[in-house]
Amino acid sequence: MKDKSKGSSAATLKRILKYASPYKGRIVLALLFAFLYVVLNLTAPVLVGYAIDNAVGTGQVNYGMILELLLLTGTVVVMSSVFQWLMNLCTNYVAYFTVRDLRRDICRKFNTVPLKYIDGHPHGDLLSRMINDTDSIGDGLLQGITQLFSGIVMILCTLGFMIFLNIYIALVVVIITPLSMFVAAFITRLSQRMFREQSAAQGELSSYIEEYVGGQKIVKAFGYEQRSQESFEQINSRLQQCGQKSQFYSSLANPSTRFVNGLVTAAVCITGSLSAIQGTLSVGQIAAFITYANQYTKPFNEVTGVIPQLQSALAGADRVFAMLDEADQTPEPENVQELSSCSGSLDIKNVDFSYVPDRPLITDFSLRVKPGQRIAIVGPTGCGKTTFINLLMRFYDIDEGAIMLDGKNIYELTRSSLRRSYGMVLQESWLYNATIRENIAYGRPDATMDEIRAAAKKAYIDRFIERLPEKYETMITEEGGNLSQGQRQLMCIARVMLCQPPMLILDEATSSIDTRTEIRIQRAFAEMMKGRTSFIVAHRLSTIKEADIILVMKDGNIIEQGSHDELMQRKGFYCNLYNSQFSS
């Protein structure tokens, strides 16, 4: 198990570095600046040592030389600080652009994974991976690059300076210092698992908060505040425990290594003093050696100090890469065709589909639709109405059978051209943070203002828009929070009316609209549906009486089909369903 964890961390780190590879020019510059920073930083103790040697003994102080050395030391320190700033500038560039590329790939992934992946994961968890986990990668990568570059150069250069001064004392430092790395490695293994659990708990908490805030009205309406608070406290407590343990274990690393470094300093003082007594070292050289011993151990302290961030970055990267490694939706064949025009003829042959392999939902489903027909789909909840729409749009792929559009299998057409042939209005309206004009023109960004106004008038939303201070340039807040549910749905209807697609899908399109407006919208729909194949999913059966064919679905199968009058005369399932709505 331990070897697997090591391999996983190494593979994750390798992938992070692969994302940073396009910016290797900045990495090389950062390495160069790190080298110059360290060399100049290590030159200062030598100059200070010379100054001390020129100040030892009564009446033996060389003020001129000391002043010259101090000025030179100040210049070296200033230049060292400049190179350190340039090094940090380059590492910041690499870290932030790497995170930008990661988020860009995640956003692309959202557009390529099957819809079932988005439906099967809490949206808050997906957002947490894109925001929190990538932030952790950026922080860890930034710290890791900075400490790695400067640390390696610092260790090598300091070792060279110490060997130059006294090889025997340098060996004492080299022998004792690795103890701190063994201590840090031991503590790292303890805390690594807790950081992974902490990252997972953060995603769970983000998902819960996203649901809780979005459904606040329902929470209050059902008096669920206390229970939701308890659920939040449960998840938050788990996150607190994971975070506390991970921080406790990781925080042991720095003081432990500092204790080892204290032993190094003590050893240097003792051996340096003995060398001074023997006359092989001067007082200034001893002072420089103590400084170098601290400089040599400093990179080890810094690395152990950023272990929490590095481990958090690796844990976040595991979650990010797990999402990026998800299989994309089925690729389109090489001979796939672009659907340039569509008459609306549809032939569904023996289709089988299930969300879960061992739980079939739609079995042996067949249907033939002529161009321009209005097809209403009714049935109890869970019978497969919305699933049928998802299959038409290729949001989900069928298991068996075929769906033919104008004589062509939809799997031989590009997804984009297939979906452009449908205009879809769902029960759940979706608007994004932009102007009203941009929301209506979502499917046709090149539409003129006159066309947008005409679509709004057909959807009976124009008068409301004209009364707003900014009219069509009014900004819509996130998910249309500054509009009523009915106004949001009218906006979505206007969006479809602007596109004028050859086929329509209306899934409870008027469920949130008042009765008077619904009558007007139904007239507008009737006008728009002329000559267009239309699929209407409805629970209110009074709205589909004029449909050419009514499909009655139950348990994924069509159990009845025909016009309203034909189905009422049969006195079957549809007749009972219709009468149950108007029994009074």
Joined tokens for residue 553? 């679905």
Q: What is the pLDDT of residue 164?
A: 74
pLDDT in tens, 322-343: 888 888 777 777 777 887 777 8
Domains of the chain by start residue, with CATH: 90-140+166-324 (1.20.1560.10), 346-581 (3.40.50.300)
Instruction: Using DSSP, state whether 217 is helix, strand or coil.
Output: helix
Joined tokens for residue 401? 């059978």
The rounded distance, in Å, linking the Cα atoms of 288 and 162 is 9
Q: What is the pLDDT of residue 3?
A: 40
CA distances from 99 to 195, 263, 532 (A): 20, 40, 47
How does residue 300 score in pLDDT terms, banded at 50, 70 and 90? low
For residues 405, 410, 412, 413, the Cα torsion angle rounded to the nearest 10 degrees is 80
pLDDT in tens, 470-483: 888 888 876 666 67
Bridging pattern class, strands 549-554 and 557-562: antiparallel
The rounded distance, in Å, linking the Cα atoms of 68 and 50 is 11
The rounded distance, in Å, linking the Cα atoms of 558 and 200 is 43
Q: What is the pLDDT of residue 468?
A: 84
Strand segments, DSSP code E, in 314-407 are: 346-353, 362-369, 374-378, 400-405
Task: Identify which of 363, 347, 394, 344 has the alpha carbon closest to the alpha carbon of residue 504.
Answer: 344
> What amino acid occupies position 159?
L
Mean pLDDT of 450-464: 86
In this structure, the number of other CB atoms found within 10 A of the CB of residue 264 comes to 23
pLDDT in tens, 248-285: 776 776 677 677 767 777 777 777 777 767 666 666 66
pLDDT in tens, 79-135: 888 988 888 888 888 888 888 888 888 888 888 887 777 777 777 778 778 887 888
